[in-house]
């Protein structure tokens, strides 16, 4: 039923279409045209207006002979890619797809999009008994799950979802952590670095001491933390008065996550106390502004659930040894689980995503397509 050459051609078409976050319009038009050619209507929501993009989330629904008699199923993939993702030139060698080396490949998540389009073709071309299949293509997943967060789920009939946005095809991701994103702005006092450095309070020095005093990386089996960017200063001859630090913390345990965020703030407080100066008899301390937002909430789907069991049985039926996985990263599935649509994440074969070394074994993507088709077949 699966057409491997068509699946390959679809994937190659997709990765050649530029679609950085908030710039997904062209790939959405490609998806819509493909679905319309099958007689499948698509609708686009108003997420673009809410997030400042050029495209909203795209939803399609395929209706089978058992509509209303069996549970609807949702499949989802995101249309955006990380940078550098413009001008992708895919290269194939022995069934492995890579970019030419100066961009990502875009298998994250255009392999998921390609699998969903192949599913639509298979359902339209074959006499399969199924109910309703909802295909959702989201925007701006890579910059904070913005498309999913701004999608009105009342448009869906499904109560169970499968997000095609992971690596290993035989793995079913049943859990992911909560995550905070933090921005710290450290205000010091500027001065001439050569004439009167003692009258300056370096914001960069305060930030460096704070970061040195933070637990970062792998905190424990459930918790991670990272400082991702530092920006500050204006010239080598000026003691810097401002530095901005962006960081994150993730955990599968809500209390551990709150503790980690607190510990990082306390590191800044200690650094401020340790670097105060006295100028003209006055004690001068640095000042910190902190913004922290809960980007998404953790989820854990039990292996006993129908959502998990359908994917597990479909894989086993194909001779795949399915395993469970608890991810360290977030996805649109975090958002949907939080609002009551039980969801797991499935793999498509994308490897080393978010790097110019990204690659995809076509055989894995082909197996992902076989898996979702078999899930639909077994769902009745």
Q: How far apart are CA 191 and CA 202, in angstroms?
A: 9
- In three-state secondary structure terms, 248 is strand
Active-site choice (80, 132, 248, 332): 80
Which helix (H) or strand (E) segment holds residue 305: the answer is: none
- φ/ψ (deg, to 5) at 277: -130, 165
- Closest to 81 measured CA to CA, from 156, 16, 171: 16
Distance of alpha carbon 332 from alpha carbon 201, whole angstroms:
43
Contacts of 221 (CB under 8 A, 6+ apart): none
Residue whose structure tokens are 């989820």: 299
Catalytic, 46? Answer no
42: exposed, middle or buried (C-beta count within 10 Å: 0-12, 13-18, 19+)?
middle
Q: How many CA atoms lie within 13 A of 348 on its CB side?
A: 33
Tokens at 211, concatenated: 């970061």
Which of 108, 141, 342, 364 is labelled catalytic?
141
Nearest to 95 by CA among 359, 342, 373: 359
Residue whose C-alpha is closest to residue 376's, from 65, 40, 73: 73
Partners of 59 in beta bridges:
43, 136
* 273 given a catalytic annotation: no
Contacts of 310 (CB under 8 A, 6+ apart): 160, 375, 378, 379
Q: How far apart are CA 160 and CA 4, in angstroms?
A: 27
Contact 283, 276 (CB under 8 A): yes
**φ and ψ of 22, to 5 deg:** 75, 5
| CA-based nearest residue to 147, from 31, 53, 84, 72 | 53
* Dihedral sign, Cα of residue 79, residue 351, residue 328, residue 162: positive
- What are 273's two structure tokens? 């106390």
List, by residue number, the catalytic residues: 80, 141
């Amino acid at each position: 039923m699966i057409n491997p050459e068509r699946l390959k051609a679809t994937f190659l078409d997709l990765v050649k279409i530029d679609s950085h976050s908030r710039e997904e319009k062209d790939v959405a038009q490609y998806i819509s045209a493909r679905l319309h050619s099958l007689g499948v209507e698509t609708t686009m929501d108003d997420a673009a207006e809410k997030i400042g993009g050029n495209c909203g989330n795209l939803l399609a629904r395929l209706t089978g002979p058992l509509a209303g008699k069996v549970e609807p199923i949702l499949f989802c993939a995101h249309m955006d890619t990380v940078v550098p993702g413009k001008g992708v030139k895919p290269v194939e060698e022995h069934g492995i797809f890579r970019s030419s080396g100066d961009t990502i490949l875009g298998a994250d998540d255009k392999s998921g999009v390609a699998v969903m389009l192949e599913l639509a073709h298979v359902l339209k071309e074959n006499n399969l008994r199924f109910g309703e299949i909802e295909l959702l293509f989201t925007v701006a997943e890579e910059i904070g799950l913005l498309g999913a967060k701004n999608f009105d789920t009342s448009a869906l009939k499904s109560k169970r979802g499968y997000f095609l946005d992971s690596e290993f095809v035989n793995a079913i991701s049943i859990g992911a952590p909560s995550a905070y994103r933090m921005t710290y702005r450290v205000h010091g006092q500027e001065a001439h670095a050569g004439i009167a450095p003692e009258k300056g309070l370096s914001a960069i020095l305060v930030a460096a001491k704070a970061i040195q005093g933070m637990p970062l990386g792998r905190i424990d089996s459930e918790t991670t933390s990272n400082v991702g960017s530092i920006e500050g200063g204006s010239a080598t001859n000026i003691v810097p008065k401002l530095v901005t630090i962006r960081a994150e913390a993730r955990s599968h345990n809500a209390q551990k996550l709150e503790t980690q965020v607190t510990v990082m703030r306390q590191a800044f407080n200690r650094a401020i106390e340790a670097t105060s100066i006295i100028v003209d008899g006055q004690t001068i301390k640095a000042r910190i502004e902190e913004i922290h937002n809960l980007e998404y909430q953790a989820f854990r789907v039990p292996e006993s659930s129908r959502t998990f069991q359908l994917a597990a049985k479909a894989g086993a039926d194909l001779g795949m040894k399915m395993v469970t996985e608890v991810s360290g990263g977030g996805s649109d599935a975090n958002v949907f689980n939080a609002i009551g649509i039980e969801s797991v994440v499935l793999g498509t074969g994308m490897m080393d995503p978010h790097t110019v070394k990204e690659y995809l074994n076509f055989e894995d993507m082909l197996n992902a397509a076989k898996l979702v088709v078999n899930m639909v077949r077994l769902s009745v």
